Amino acid sequence: MAATASDEQADYVVVGAGSAGCVLANRLSADGSRVVLLEAGPRDWHPMIHVPAGVLKLLYNPLVNWNYATDPEPGIAGRQIHWPRGRVLGGSSSINGMLWIRGNPADYDGWSQMGCKGWSFDEVMPYFKSIERYAPGDPEQRGKSGPILVEDYRTTLDLTRRFVDAAQQAGIPLTKDLNGRQHEGVGFSQMSRNGRFRGSTARTFLAQARGRPNLRVETKAFATRLLFEGKRCVGVAFRQKGQDRQVRAAREVILSGGTINSPHLLQVSGIGPGAHLKSIGVPVVHDLPGVGANLSDHYAIRISHRVKDAVSINELSRGLRLGREIARWLTTGRGALTFGVSSAQAFARSREGLASPDIQLLFSPASYDHNKFGELEREPGMTIAVSIARPESRGTIMAKSSDPFVRPSLKPNYLSVPNDLRVSLAGIAIARRIFAAPALARHSVAEITPGPGVTTPEALSDYIRQQGTTIYHIVGTCKMGEDPMAVVDARLKVRGLTGLRVIDASVMPTVTTANTNAPTIMIAEKGAALIREDGGV
């Protein structure tokens, strides 16, 4: 693999080596096409990336993380919310909680109904199957030979089993495979892996392609603008080691920088809402009003309990017990270090009459220190995170300057639509019913947060606004569709331009009803197929 990109042409230039970009680099270089992959961050050398339980040590780490922060949010008590985003090979797949979940089939059927032809659940199923390798599943539903190893949790604590039992006692049906067609219900989580290690797209898709002489991977290469000849995108300017460089694309440029960086690069390159671009001194190349709009995220609140008569991750993460867990992971690939962020999940409806679930409940046999971000409490604990799975609130990402190094304004507008608060309140009620069910009640000392005294709708609403946070699933700022605010069409081409596509989580018209890493990888897999079908034009 060459060490530096030149100003000569590649066939494809992919901007961003994250969950989507690593997939594209593999698939587009497979036929001998020349591919340059640009990544603003470093190689994925940091040891905490590869230990599944190391995720808490990565959420603020500036070596591998963009560490974005939202603007102060009026709907959540004026707070700013920290948004971790991977700035490293593998992108956010190198720092996330590794949960592997497709979402509800209705998510994709909804996209199709919005005009995204070819994106119904049945039509994207082959791409979900081709990216994964999951041994136990139904071969009609699950992939058996893809690059990413998907597994059930290698070690399951008794508290997790009790959560699944308690959810059923609370009226939520058991779902044997949350990645099958029956998404609603309660079941055990699945994780993306690479053996005992994290299964990022860098260590799976990209690793498979690294020996190809036609693929060049450039790290610490910050894309500063897109290059145009008329309405055709012909290359990318970037800064690397203090030098301004360019790489040109004979066929296409593909943006895979993610929900923040892809619209921001478009805007500082003159693609976006024309009046706003003019106001910050950016010459307008193409007035496309939807760039940076339609931002959607899962806002969540934690319900935590102190635990008795059971083991939680809290006490396994300290002292001699931690030493034993490290040894266990090194020798067997099992134990507490194999844990991600949620060992079981449930999907439920906030009210009767809904066509599909709008609440995700993520269980963890652990509880978090509210005074130390990324730290577990010392005493045993367990947590249910209540996520608004189909949020109606929408926000924006807008460039503040023509300087690409000035970070954009991030306004998610959490809880700006009243129904989102209603769903969160309903989710808290469901979580409390689960904790009160016999299977979990026997292990509960008391509710820690929000606390047994917080019961009225007014008090709970205040708690949601003051303590809720993201679960890192921002999407939608270059949405796919046919309406005037769509940025890309159903083939992921930027509308009104040639030679340019966006292929990452930003193209989702709506956020999926679950975690977004597997859907993003699927989008890249399908996107690569679309590029090949179109002949790279």
Find the CATH number of the domain harbouring 183: 3.30.410.40
261 occurs within a structural domain: yes
Among 427, 444, 473, residue at a domain's last position? 473
Q: 371 near 394, Cβ under 8 Å? A: no
Distances (CA, A) of 227 to 17, 151, 305, 472: 20, 42, 54, 31
What does the mean pLDDT of the chain come to? 95
If residue 297 lies in a helix (H) or strand (E), which one and from where to where?
none
When pLDDT is averaged across residues 522-535 and rounded to a whole number, the result is 97
Tens-digit pLDDT profile for residues 437-486:
999 999 999 999 999 999 999 999 999 999 999 999 999 999 999 999 99
Which of 142, 199, 191 has its CA nearest to residue 22? 199
Assess whether pLDDT exceeds 70 at residue 104.
yes
Whether 165 and 283 share a structural domain: no
- Residue 233's pLDDT is 98
Q: 245 near 63, Cβ under 8 Å? A: no
Q: 271 near 494, Cβ under 8 Å? A: yes
Residue with tokens 């971000």: 373
Burial class (CB in 10 A: 0-12, 13-18, 19+), 241: exposed
Whether 118 and 247 share a structural domain: yes
Whether 427 and 523 share a structural domain: no
Cα-flanking dihedrals φ and ψ of residue 327, to 5°? -65, -40
- Residue 56's pLDDT is 84
Q: 446 near 436, Cβ under 8 Å? A: no
- Residue 270's pLDDT is 98
52 occurs within a structural domain: no
Whether 237 and 385 share a structural domain: no
Assess whether pLDDT exceeds 60 at residue 3.
no
Whether 338 and 431 share a structural domain: yes
- Residue 317's pLDDT is 82
Assess whether pLDDT exceeds 90 at residue 282.
yes
All residues at 6 or more sequence positions from 166 whose CB lies less than 8 Å from its CB, including other chains: 434, 435, 437, 438, 439, 440, 441
* DSSP E strand stretches across 175-220: 185-188, 190-194, 197-198, 215-218
Whether 328 and 243 share a structural domain: no
Whether 383 and 498 share a structural domain: no
**Which of the 8 DSSP states describes residue 180?**
S
Structural domain tally of the chain? Answer: 2
User: Pairing state of beta strands 469-470 and 299-307?
Assistant: antiparallel
- Residue 222's pLDDT is 98
Q: Give exposure, 43-75, as e/b (b: 16+ Cβ within 10 Å).
A: ebebebbbbbbbbbbbbebeebbbebebbebeb
Q: 432 near 307, Cβ under 8 Å? A: no
Q: Cα dihedral sign for 256, 261, 267, 268?
A: negative
80 occurs within a structural domain: no
Tens-digit pLDDT profile for residues 270-280:
999 999 999 99
Assess whether pLDDT exceeds 90 at residue 318.
no
Tens-digit pLDDT profile for residues 377-391:
889 999 999 999 999
All residues at 6 or more sequence positions from 324 whose CB lies less than 8 Å from its CB, including other chains: none
Whether 519 and 454 share a structural domain: no
Q: 226 near 265, Cβ under 8 Å? A: yes
- Residue 321's pLDDT is 83
- Residue 322's pLDDT is 82
Cα-flanking dihedrals φ and ψ of residue 385, to 5°? -90, 125
68 occurs within a structural domain: no
The model's pTM is 0.96
More confident residue, 4 or 249: 249
- Residue 330's pLDDT is 86
Report the helix count and the strand count for the chain, using DSSP H and E: 14, 24
- Residue 70's pLDDT is 98
Assess whether pLDDT exceeds 60 at residue 5.
no
All residues at 6 or more sequence positions from 485 whose CB lies less than 8 Å from its CB, including other chains: 289, 290, 293, 294, 479
Whats the size of the chain, residue-wise? 537
367 occurs within a structural domain: yes
Tens-digit pLDDT profile for residues 325-373:
888 888 888 888 888 889 999 999 999 999 999 999 999 999 987 765 5
When pLDDT is averaged across residues 136-159 and rounded to a whole number, the result is 93
Tens-digit pLDDT profile for residues 413-431:
999 999 999 999 999 999 9
Which of 312, 203, 261, 190 has its CA nearest to residue 38? 261
48 occurs within a structural domain: no
CATH number for 208: 3.50.50.60
Q: What percent of the chain has pLDDT over 90?
A: 86
Among 473, 491, 517, residue at a domain's last position? 473
The SS3 of residue 479 is: coil
Whether 356 and 437 share a structural domain: yes
Q: At what angle do helices 457-467 and 418-436 cross, to 10 degrees?
A: 100
Give dist(CA 22, CA 217) in Å, integer.
10
The SS3 of residue 417 is: coil
Which of 519, 491, 528 has its CA nearest to residue 209? 528
What is the dihedral angle through the alpha carbons of 69, 75, 79, 81, rounded to the nearest 10 degrees? -30
Most confident option among 147-156, 194-203, 307-316, 401-410: 401-410
Which of 263, 293, 423 has its CA nearest to residue 358? 423
- Residue 372's pLDDT is 57
Assess whether pLDDT exceeds 50 at residue 69.
yes
Whether 28 and 97 share a structural domain: yes
Whether 214 and 272 share a structural domain: yes
22 occurs within a structural domain: yes
Among 458, 473, 488, residue at a domain's last position? 473
Give dist(CA 77, CA 466) in Å, integer.
6
Bridge partners of 192? 150
The separation between the first and the last C-alpha atoms of the chain, rounded to the nearest angstrom, is: 25
374 pLDDT tier (thresholds 50, 70, 90):
low
Whether 274 and 169 share a structural domain: no
Assess whether pLDDT exceeds 60 at residue 520.
yes
Residue with tokens 């190809």: 212
Assess whether pLDDT exceeds 50 at residue 1.
no
- Catalytic residue numbers, as ranges: 473
Give dist(CA 431, CA 304) in Å, integer.
10
Give dist(CA 49, CA 93) in Å, integer.
9
Give dist(CA 257, CA 220) in Å, integer.
14
- Residue 4's pLDDT is 46
All residues at 6 or more sequence positions from 205 whose CB lies less than 8 Å from its CB, including other chains: 22, 23, 25, 26, 27, 147, 148
- Residue 328's pLDDT is 87
User: Pairing state of beta strands 215-218 and 35-38?
Assistant: parallel
83 occurs within a structural domain: no
More confident residue, 1 or 48: 48
Show the domain range for 120.
1-43+89-150+199-295+395-411+479-537
Bridge partners of 304? 383, 449
